[in-house]
Amino acid sequence: MKPLLHGIRIIDFSWYLPGPFATQRLADRGAEVIKVEPPGGDPGRRMPAVFQAYNRGKKSVVIDLKQRAGIESALRLIADADVVVESFRPGVMTQLGLGYEQVRRVKPDIVYCSLSGYGQTGPMSGLASHDLNYVSLSGALSQIKDDKGSPVHPALTWADLIGGIAASEAITTALFRRERSGEGAHLDISLTGVMASLMAHYRYQPEGIPFLSGQVVNYAIYETADGRYVSLAALEEKFWERFCKRSGREDWLKAYFSPATDENPVYEEIKRWFRSRPLQDWEAWGREADCCLTPVLEPEEVWQHPQVKHDIGNIGMSSPNAQVPELGAHTEALLKHTEKVD
């Protein structure tokens, strides 16, 4: 069976992370992604691990977009494509001669996706920005605090990654509509807007949902004997009951949704219970109990976990070590092809 996006060609002008992650997700589902890079390459190449992760199996074409000949080459590529992805500041692609309206002249049904920090319009659209700005402005960072109430710097670039997911979703939706109507689209993906959408329920409950924030004993993170951690997420009473009975502590049943504070004796007992065994034991125990208990894995452990390995294969990432393209490896072949098309 052919991959879901077999036959879809994407011209990707984006750098660093959000755009490449979006197109990587589409490449994993069978799309042909042609990465257009400047003569010096995508600056993301200076971060080899990130570049490897989000540019697997793509093709690389070097085009100098500061030259008229380069713009003409890019337009020829686009004329034979289905999707364009770009992540420059608003207006840059138009200045180059590659904006949506300009591209439509050579490819009327193009799906054109613009990713930016603050969207194509609005009071901050022209400002410089990065991931930390988006998680800050969206309010998401305020929900990750230390014991003193200070925001904690995330180790992951959440907005870049989630924005990439949102972009790939929007692109596939637009392709579906084009299949039915023949119409292209200009997709405006604001990374701040995407992060703000994750905070939608805070509009109606500004304090958030306390029991999802580690404030109750049945939905919390606990330390194990070897200094590792497990996550207990027994929200439903039946799972809490399984946990308590498997622990031999039916007297804990009455503590369902009780506060995870030092003043709660059951909370203190559960903490001691988890500190009685190492992480590996708890992982096996949790599977047997089926009470929503999982280990907190470190990055180097994730890819060896049976469930993760299975899931990655199911979404088309069965070859995470696939080669990334050498800079400009496909320039000659692809540009010669467009000349023949002309």
148-170 pLDDT tens trace: 889 999 999 999 999 999 999 99
Residues 137 and 268 in one domain: no
Which is nearest to 99 in space by CA: 81, 120, 80? 120
Alpha-carbon Rg of the chain, whole angstroms? 24
Residues 143 and 72 in one domain: yes
Of the residues 12, 42, 131, 160, which is catalytic? 160
Q: Are 78 and 111 in contact (CB under 8 A)?
A: no
d(CA 64, CA 71): 8
In a domain, 97, yes or no: yes
CATH at residue 14: 3.40.50.10540
Residues 62 and 102 in one domain: yes
Residues 35 and 55 in one domain: yes
In a domain, 310, yes or no: no
Sign of CA dihedral 156, 158, 160, 161: positive
Q: Which two tokens stand for residue 228?
A: 């590792």
In a domain, 252, yes or no: yes
Residue 207 dihedral angles phi and psi, to the nearest 5°: -80, 0
Per-residue pLDDT for 58 more than 90? Answer: yes
Range of the domain at 43: 9-200+325-341
Residues 162 and 19 in one domain: yes
| Percent of the chain with pLDDT strictly greater than 90 | 81
In a domain, 1, yes or no: no
Residues 42 and 171 in one domain: yes
Which is nearest to 62 in space by CA: 335, 307, 264, 322? 335
- Return the pLDDT at 210: 74
- Return the pLDDT at 315: 57
Cross-strand partners of 9: 32
In a domain, 329, yes or no: yes
* The Cα angle at residue 89 between residues 88 and 94, in degrees rounded to 5: 80
Q: Are 46 and 314 in contact (CB under 8 A)?
A: no
Burial class (CB in 10 A: 0-12, 13-18, 19+), 216: buried
Per-residue pLDDT for 310 more than 90? Answer: no
d(CA 105, CA 166): 27
Q: Are 60 and 329 in contact (CB under 8 A)?
A: yes
d(CA 105, CA 79): 9
- 5 CB-near residues (< 8 Å, 6+ apart): 26, 29, 30, 31, 172
d(CA 103, CA 338): 16
Residues 161 and 102 in one domain: yes
Residues 193 and 263 in one domain: no
In a domain, 162, yes or no: yes
Average pLDDT, the chain: 93
- Residue position matching structure tokens 């589409």: 26
Rounded mean pLDDT, 101-127? 97
The answer to whether 262 is a known catalytic residue is no
Q: Give the model's confidence band at 324: pLDDT under 50 very low, under 70 low, under 90 confident, else very high.
A: confident
- Return the pLDDT at 319: 55
Residues 92 and 218 in one domain: no
In a domain, 156, yes or no: yes
CATH at residue 265: 3.30.1540.10
Which is nearest to 106 in space by CA: 85, 81, 88? 81
Residues 123 and 235 in one domain: no
In a domain, 320, yes or no: no
Rounded mean pLDDT, 82-109? 98
How many domains does the structure of the chain reveal?
A: 2
Q: Are 18 and 115 in contact (CB under 8 A)?
A: yes
d(CA 2, CA 29): 9
Residue 24 dihedral angles phi and psi, to the nearest 5°: -65, -40
Residues 190 and 222 in one domain: no
The answer to whether 160 is a known catalytic residue is yes
| Percent of the chain with pLDDT strictly greater than 70 | 95
Residues 142 and 171 in one domain: yes
How does pLDDT run across 181-234, given as a tens digit for each residue? Answer: 999 999 999 999 999 999 998 888 877 777 788 899 999 999 999 999 999 999
Of the residues 130, 186, 305, 330, which is catalytic? 130
